[in-house]
Amino acid sequence: MQTFFVQIKCELGRTYEVAEALADQERHSEIYSTAGDYDLIVKYHVDDGVDLGQFVGRHVHSVEGVRDTYTLITFKAF
């Protein structure tokens, strides 16, 4: 399995709308709204073969209200 995080900057005032849309997809393992430079952090566990770039493009960038994203790849869990 691949674990990765996507930090999401949302259009002003649409953070919770974006979070709920992502949650409805039921692809995530966790979604939190956060303080700081980004508004949301989403954790995904996906099969090894999955192309993460395409996954983010297809399932995150396509959500209304998403302004920018930063994909955080994990190497190893301790």
DSSP state of 26: T
Residue type at 7?
Q
Residue type at 22?
L
- Residue 48 and residue 34: Cα distance in Å, rounded? 28
| Closest CB 46 distance from its own copies, rounded Å | 11
| Closest CB 26 distance from its own copies, rounded Å | 11
Residues interacting with its own copies, by CB under 8 A?
Answer: 3-5, 12-16, 19-20, 22-23, 30-37, 39, 41, 48, 51-54, 57-58, 61-62, 66-78
